[in-house]
Structure 1
Amino acid sequence: MTSSRPPLVQLSNVRIDRGGRTILRDVSLQVPRGSITAVLGPSGSGKSTLLAALTGELRAVSGSVQLFGQDIPHGNRALLEMRKNVGVLLQGNGLLTDLSVADNVALPLRAHTRLPEAVLHRLVQMKLHAVGLLAAADAWPRELSGGMARRVALARALALDPPLMIYDEPLTGLDPIASGVIMSLIQRLNDSLGLTSIIVSHHVHETLPISDQAVVIANGGIVFSGTPDALQASQDPLVRQFLHGEPDGPIPFDAPTRNYGLENA
């Protein structure tokens, strides 16, 4: 996908630390406008750390992280304004159990706008219709299946019409049918609404078919970046190990040894 416009997301030589340890280093990535980018990798590889850097939760120790052509702001108010343009679908859904489906979707609108109640109600209906759950507007989260709850969370993430969507493990806990519904919905919404999407996942075979770009994170950095077809054809041992789920290879099974400062005890 080519465009004369700058990428919506750009990371340049980024290093990210967490808990006193370097989790990701020398990360460079461009996410073109209108594309779907799959960020793949084994558990504990740093995918969630990258997500936290994109939302401003974590600050890069070095390098630059830009969204919408600008560095992520440091001030709380400016950061909040930027986050209004980023929809995040959490893997735990984050629905409030004491609110109806409609009121859960309305939360961002009530928090960040002063729209008349009639307009707000209409927008909520539109978002629920977009995910195929208008009939469940008056239901409670406890009455929903896992796939339905994920779609309600998606409707809420879209409430403010963000140009950028980030999906954090969107298929966690879902059966194959619900997973297929969610991935189809992500693709359809991306195309129909002109979104740019980043899918953070370890579900390779479900995610690649709808993606324009694939990135694999392992061993503290990006080990592959390219098209899904190029990823499938890669002969890199590390990439092959991840794609085929092999227990032995360059990606270690055991957790890395942590330095607790005992050498100076």
Structure 2
Amino acid sequence: MTASAPIVRLSGVRLDRGGRTILRGLDLDVPKGAIVAVLGPSGSGKSTLLAAITGELEPAAGTVEVFGQPVPRERRALLSLRKGIGVLLQGNGLLTDLTAAENVALPLRAHTDLPEPVIARLVRMKLHAVGLRAAADLYPRELSGGMARRVALARALALDPPLMVYDEPLTGLDPIASGVIMALIRRLNDTLGLTSIVVSHHVHETLPVADHALVIANGRIVFAGTPSELETSHDPFVRQFLRGEPDGPIAFDAAARTEAA
């Protein structure tokens, strides 16, 4: 992959689930070092897009490339690719019977042969990076929602992935914790040289840290550009979404929704 090649590239992609087309005509380049916000109403297909990037969902048409190569279908090659992708799920996924440090150590123990003293040092470094080194011995039940999200972020960073994917990172967080998480995403992206894709419907919290923004609605990308271009767009799809208007070109009836994004 050349220095100028995008970290992720989708070309003419169509994504189907359950025999129905969820997204179609997707063309997307994610530049190295950028934070790309993928915005849209619930059920618009944002998580389906992430599933294609991580190889969980094979496109019905078109190509998905990550790190300059088509996403492989063979299991071993796909597992190798996924080691380079850190994923922060909206539910955190922390194991409740393990401490914060033990949760962060999980991918290191599963995917490396590093000795325990080295793993312990790396875990301390990752927790320090998210401002939680002092919480190493706490269990998930002893953490606030924002702290638990940061522990999950430290775990996602454990293998030093060049690409980070965030699936609704602000779900269930109060405004202060949301601000902390988004500022942390920006800082880590810059200091660690990451590339980040942030799927969210929290527009006003996400846009300030993003370099590029997409809006997905009605099965396609209805906007792609900078956050400032998004905020000044007169496109009816974009205006309806940004203003939270119930009536407009974006359908909100339950029958039209086929998956939760």
If the TM-score is normalised by the length of the shorter chain, which range does it land in?
over 0.9
Partner of 1:219: 218
AA aligned to 2:74 is: G
Partner of 2:244: 245
- Partner SS, residue 16 of structure 1: strand
Matches of residues 115-264 of structure 1 in structure 2 within 5 Å? 115-256=114-255
Distance 1:257 1:73 in 2: 31
Distance 1:181 1:209 in 2: 13
Partner of 1:66: 65
Shift of residue 257, structure 1, vs aligned partner? 5.4
Which structure is larger by alpha-carbon Rg, 1 or 2? 1
Partner of 1:93: 92
Matches of residues 25-40 of structure 1 in structure 2 within 5 Å? 25-40=24-39
Distance 1:257 1:179 in 2: 30
Shift of residue 244, structure 1, vs aligned partner? 0.5
Shift of residue 88, structure 1, vs aligned partner? 0.2
Distance 1:134 1:257 in 2: 45
- Partner SS, residue 171 of structure 1: coil
C-alpha RMSD over aligned residues: 1.3
AA aligned to 2:224 is: S
| 1:26-50 alpha-carbon deviations (Å, 9 max, x no partner) | 0000000000000000000000100
- Partner SS, residue 114 of structure 2: coil
Shift of residue 66, structure 1, vs aligned partner? 0.3
Shift of residue 256, structure 1, vs aligned partner? 3.8
Shift of residue 20, structure 1, vs aligned partner? 1.1
| 1:105-142 alpha-carbon deviations (Å, 9 max, x no partner) | 00000000010110000000000000000000000010
**Off by >6 Å, runs of 4+ in structure 1:** none
The answer to whether 1:56 aligns with 2:48 is no
Relative distance call for 1:257 and 1:8 in structure 2 (3 A) is closer
Distance 2:23 2:149 in 1: 29
Distance 1:193 1:4 in 2: 16
- Partner SS, residue 243 of structure 1: helix
- Partner SS, residue 254 of structure 2: coil
- Partner SS, residue 184 of structure 1: helix
Partner of 1:261: none
Distance 2:206 2:9 in 1: 21
AA aligned to 2:178 is: S
Distance 2:252 2:30 in 1: 30
Distance 1:255 1:15 in 2: 22
* Unaligned stretches of 5+ residues in structure 2: none
Shift of residue 13, structure 1, vs aligned partner? 0.6
